[in-house]
Amino acid sequence: MDQIATVRIRLDIAYDGTAFSGWATQPELRTVQGTLEDALRIIYRDLPESGPLLTVAGRTDAGVHATGQVAHLDLPESAWEATARGNRDDGPADALMRRLAGVLGPESDVVVTRVTEAPEGFDARFSAIWRSYEYRIADSTIAPNPLERHRTTLVRRELDLDDMNRAAEVLIGLHDFAGFCKPRPHATTIRTLQEFHWSRDEAGVFIAQVRADAFCHSMVRSLVGMCAAVGQGRLKLSRVPALLELQDRSNEFTVLAAKGLTLTAVGYPQEAELAARQTQTRAKRTAPPHLKLVE
């Protein structure tokens, strides 16, 4: 039997994670993936009624937001070409974006911000070379802002920006982040933390910018929780290097709330390097001689 020709479609996505039980589809729960796939099945009625349709760059937990999430969808070529049929003069990408907006509604908490045909070798998850997150904290010196309550975590003590940046700097580079990750069977916790620094905005909110090749489960919220503990004086800065020697997640700091976290961007290599990157990422990471793999 001849194989059906398909087209891979890239979706750029933003969402307010407050009312979602995370990205991944779960029975009886409202999720970002489930909401988008329901909308896609309304538009393309011949799609399978069960099973995942979308592959995502990074699964976010319940309450986590995104402004730069990326997913891909494989559609039959005939369905893709028919997307704009009978509508305006726009192509299938613009037509799908407009139709998704119509199904999701003008006040939806999930929005597809861009639709494009993916280049050859593209995989939203395995072709990515980095993910970037932002985390927002308001300390005791800042008056609570009710308009920011769903995307900013409050801490009760005053924070020291310089100490938080000193703590963050220690962690940059290739390390085993087992002390900052929720363990998962047969999963490595070795990551390259490419960027980690703090600043304050005009309102005085502390904002972390965190970028890595990938993140293990709850890693970002652990990293910022550690920095907050240092910034409040509850954890000594001199203790931070030792946290990278742990083989289990530390209880010396609090993993901060999901609501302060936003996935802001996903990076990909040049088109000619997409397939090679996908192959490289699918292969299990191996540790350099001075690091141990956590199985």
Which positions are annotated as active-site residues?
A: 61
Q: Distance between CA 112 and CA 114 in Å, rounded?
A: 6
* Residue 254 tokens, joined: 């609090």
**Contact between residue 103 and residue 43 where contact means Cβ atoms under 8 Å apart:** yes
- Torsion angle of alpha carbons 183, 187, 190, 194, nearest 10°? -90
Instruction: Count other C-beta atoms under 10 Å from residue 272's C-beta.
Output: 10
Q: Could you write out the DSSP letters of every residue in 46-103?
A: TS-SSS--EEESSPPPTT-EEEEEEEEEEEEHHHHHTTTTTS-S--HHHHHHHHHHHH
By the 10 Å C-beta count (0-12 exposed, 13-18 middle, 19+ buried), 206 is classed as: buried
Report the candidate in 240, 253, 251 with the shortest Cα–Cα distance to residue 171: 240
- DSSP letter at 272 equals G
